[in-house]
Amino acid sequence: MEGWISITIKVVDSIMGSGKSTFAIEKMNNDTERKYIYITPFLDEITRVKHSCPNKRFVDPKNYDNEGHFQKKQDSLHNLLAAGHNIATTHSLFKQSNEETKELIQAGNYVLILDEVMDVVDHLTIKNSDRDLLFENNFLNVDDEGYITWNNNDEKTRNYDGKFNDIKHMANNRNLLFYKGSILIWTFPISIFEAFKEVYILTYLFDGQIQKYYYDLNKVDYEYYHIENSNGNYNLQKGKNKSPKIKAQYSDLIEIYDGILNDIGNDKYSLSMSWYENRNQAVTKLKNNVSNYFKHKMKAKSKDIIWTTYKDFQPKVSGKGFQRSYIAVNLRATNDHRQTKYLAYTVNRFMNPIIEGFFIERGVKLNHELWSTSELIQWIWRSSIRDNKKVYIYLPSKRMRNLLKEWLET
């Protein structure tokens, strides 16, 4: 890839609710010299940062300028960077960063605080016929490092403007890699991180996350920190927090259902995506199990419920009394559901096999079970356990159930 970069990423790896965001806000408020970019998954967190750091005068990119003229948010971001503002914005916009973004960040001597890991590697869905058309007509090429490049040497392709503009933009931005001779892999440009003076990532179980493997792939150094609360002051301490008290407090707060409704998930791959795709009758049974758990086992009211499955199968599992309580399986970093205490996690999470294979082919070591555990823990923490209140969870996958128990016990 592009070799070692000069920055060392500071990974603040502390459990949800330990004060990572509070630490970040205190840090920004106390720093009177440097400028910050705060990147978060959700709009409400942008509002929180703006209100909590009044002296920093954080701004967020808009689709309209001061005179009411439409502009792309990326152009707005660039204008704000050029003007030297402190900026709070979303993962979604930050993922569009390009060479201009990098140069503006570098010129502004910015510090990055990344609230939660973001999608830095993805499988790009494109029809085989379209992909073949682009290569056969010399629109795309592959360089020695495996990056897909757009042919800017030919006037016809250089001036192309059409349905493949996104591909053109990503190729010119050095975002695309070739995998197994046909699959396009999108990656966030590693040079963006290099442009910052410092980078902080606020997360938990980083060792199991794709962004960790992305840094390993690109030979990026990172070091671990954790948050310690000392009389209401949230301090950054080097290394991981290995205190057994951190998780011990949750053993009594998470009650895992143990009964006959779990029989549907006894096999290793039960409730995986392929299981859903090939077992219509079992999915119907699962729907009945979820209904039984909420209505009869827990006697839960809909306002106290959250549940999840794969997005494509939501209609098939959804039932009366809990259909409106669905939240996405990969939802994280939001407090919108912190009043809920009855949970149903009806999936068995595995890494995307294409992304997994992409890393393995390049010699990156993965921790599959920790990745699955991380996804599960993040989802559970959308509930009232955030406030140290007891939650009850139906976790029919035996594999996922065991991963949760192991996490609680170690």
What total of structural domains would you count in the chain? 3
User: Rounded mean pLDDT of the chain?
Assistant: 92
67, part of any domain: yes
- Residue 118 backbone phi and psi in degrees, to 5: -125, 175
Question: Which residue has 């179980």 as its token pair?
Answer: 205
Residue 263 domain-assigned (yes or no): yes
pLDDT, residue 16, reads 86
Same domain, 262 and 360: yes
Query: What are residue 200's DSSP bridge partners?
Result: 10, 113
Q: Which of 187, 203, 221 is the last residue of a domain?
A: 187
Per-residue pLDDT reduced to its tens digit, 98-135: 999 999 999 999 999 999 999 999 999 899 999 999 99
The pLDDT value given to residue 244: 63
207-229 pLDDT per residue, tens: 999 999 999 999 999 999 999 88
pLDDT digits (tens, 9 = 90+) for 163-184: 999 999 999 998 999 898 888 9
The pLDDT value given to residue 1: 42
In angstroms, the CA 404 to CA 394 distance is 12
End-to-end CA distance of the chain: 36
Q: Is there a domain that residue 3 lies in?
A: no
| 205 and 274 both lie in a single domain | no
Residues 370 and 268 in one domain: yes
Q: How many CB atoms lie within 10 A of CB 406?
A: 11
- Taking residues 324-351, what's their average pLDDT? 89
Residue 123: the pLDDT is: 93
Tell me, what's the pLDDT at 3? 42
State yes or no: pLDDT of 2 exceeds 50.
no
Q: Are 223 and 9 in contact (CB under 8 A)?
A: yes
Indicate the pTM of the whole model: 0.91
Contact 150, 139 (CB under 8 A): yes
For range 303-325, the mean pLDDT: 95
CA distances from 345 to 296, 308, 325 (A): 17, 5, 12
DSSP letters spanning 232-270: TEEEEEES----THHHHTTTTTEEE--SGGGGGG-STTT
Domain identity same for 114 and 154: no
**Residue in the block written with tokens 């979604």:** 92
Per-residue pLDDT averaged across 70-90, rounded? 95
pLDDT, mean of residues 35-53: 94
- Which pLDDT score is estimated for 339? 92
Residue 308 burial (CB count, 10 A): 21
Taking 50 as the threshold, does the pLDDT of residue 306 lie above it? yes
How far is the C-alpha of 348 from the C-alpha of 368, rounded, in Å? 12
pLDDT of residue 164: 95
Angle made by CA atoms 407, 408, 410, in degrees to the nearest 5: 65
What DSSP designation does 325 have? G
Report whether pLDDT(333) > 50: yes
CB 240 within 8 A of CB 226: yes
| 210 and 337 housed in the same domain | no
> Rounded to an integer, what is the distance from CA 216 to the centroid of its chain?
17
Is 76 among the domain residues?
yes
Which residue, 163, 187, 211, sits at the end of a domain?
187
In this structure, are residues 81 and 105 in contact, taking their beta carbons and an 8 Å threshold? yes
Report, as an integer, the average pLDDT of 150-165. 94
Regarding whether 142 and 105 lie in a shared domain, the answer is: no
Q: Give 70's pLDDT tier (boundaries 50, 70, 90).
A: confident
The predicted model gives 262-290 an average pLDDT of: 96
What is the structure's pLDDT at 261?
98
Q: Which two tokens stand for residue 232?
A: 């209401």
Backbone angles phi and psi of 171, in degrees to 5 = -65, -45
pLDDT of residue 241: 81
Please give the Cα distance from 82 to 106 (Å, whole number). Answer: 11
Query: What pLDDT score does 4 carry?
Result: 41
Residue entry with tokens 């396009």? 184
Residue with tokens 């966030």: 188
The reply to whether 295 and 350 lie within a common domain is yes
Report yes or no on 107 lying in a domain.
Answer: yes
Cα distance between residue 232 and residue 378, in whole Å: 24
* Residue 32 domain-assigned (yes or no): yes
Q: Which residue has the tokens 């030919």?
A: 154
Specify the higher pLDDT residue, 107 or 68.
107
> Which domain does 231 fall in, by range?
8-118+191-242
Whether 30 and 65 share a structural domain: yes
Tokens 């599992």 -> residue:
317
**Domain assignment present for 324:** yes
- 148 forms beta bridges with 142
- Do 336 and 326 meet the contact criterion of CB atoms below 8 Å apart? no
If asked whether residues 106 and 208 sit together in one domain, one would say yes
